[in-house]
Structure formats: structure tokens, C-alpha cells
Amino acid sequence: MKKRIGVLASGRGTNLQAIIDACKDGTIPDAEVAIVVSDVADAYALERAKAGGIATKVVLRGDFEKVKDFNMAIGDALEEAGVDLVCLAGYMRILSKSLVKRFYGRCLNIHPALLPSFPGLDGQKQAWDYGVKVSGCTVHYVDEGCDTGPVIIQRAVTVDEGCTVKELSAKILKEEHKAYPEAIRLHLSGRLTIAGRRVIISPG
């Protein structure tokens, strides 16, 4: 039976597409994206899901009086889809403590910077503004903080002289599309163990 992945997305969904493609071509073996949940009704990620025949669910914050009920609805949608793993792919909200606890150890996120440097929004621009010579992306387990969970994979890129923020972002995005499927593959194959701040990768 294929492992089932649930994806939370708020935007265009390029990392979602990378995950869908990796499942189809066997880069992530014996797995499928079972559902895409979005907090934005017109997110292009939903169109990508529909094109791939994947179930979608829109959960809007404005439909709920309390944020805890909003997060519960997201968690319920994922549980009802029977997901084995939750992946944040451009999801622009910090998960509530209850939602993190519900999926702890089986929820991943990707961030466009080399954590712990430049967490939060616009990691690429933060790095560019700071004048770093090397940046990159990080795939990590989700905890209760903002981009603070244990690191699984990091990929680095050089920041060339004269490079613009747009060019740096595109360079990092290419690495994101490689790193995220690899981290998912490692998790679903049972090769990852969280040991405090560290993620131990066992031999394949």
C-alpha cells in the first residue's frame, strides 16, 4: 500500500509539484499525494492538485471564530485523508501547538535559507540584504517555533556578485525541488530518527 502524503499550501505550489512529480517518477517510491489543503481559496497549488487528480480542501480562517477551530479543521481534513506524512509547501501560517502535537514527528517544512539563519518570511531577501556569500534551503521537522525544528537536509548555493534577490530565489528554489523529495523519501523509508536537536539518518 502506498504511503499517503498530505500537503498544506497557500500559494503557487512549486514544491507541491516537485513532490507530485517525485511520487510519480519513483524518486519517492510507493507514495502518493493524497490531499492538498489550502487556506487560500484561489491558491494555484489547488489547480496543480486538481490537474493531478488529487483531492483538495479549502479551509479559510475567516470561516472560524476561533483559531483553534480553524487548526482543528485542517487537522481533521488530513486525518480523514489517512495521511502518513504532512508536508508544508509554501504554507504561510504557523501551525498551532495542538496541530504540531497532533502530527509531531511526521510533519515537514522547507525554508529558503540555511537555518537557523534567516527564519520567517522572505528568507532569501533576508540573506541577500545581509550580504551573505552562501545561502540555500533547509528541510526540517516542524515544532512549535517558527522554522526551529530539527534539520533533516540542507542544500547550499553561492550568492554570485551582482546577483539579484530574484535570481537568488530562483537558484534556491531549484535546490528546494531536489531537497524536499529526498527528505520525504528518507522519512517514509524509516531512515530518520529525531534525537534532540539532531536528525540521525541511518544507512540505506
Q: Answer yes or no: 111 catalytic.
A: yes
Sheet with 134-141, side-by-side order of all strands:
55-58, 31-38, 3-9, 85-88, 107-111, 134-141, 151-158
Q: What sign has the CA pseudo-torsion 18, 20, 26, 29?
A: positive
Going by C-alpha positions, the residue among 95, 94, 59, 96 that lies closest to residue 74 is 59
DSSP letter, residue 177: H
Q: Which residues pair with 201 in a beta bridge?
A: 192
Q: Contact, 152 vs 199, CB < 8 A? A: yes
Q: Which of 111, 140, 177, 187 is catalytic?
A: 111
Cell of 119: 527564519
Cα 149 from Cα 125, distance rounded (Å): 21
Q: Which positions are annotated as active-site residues?
A: 111
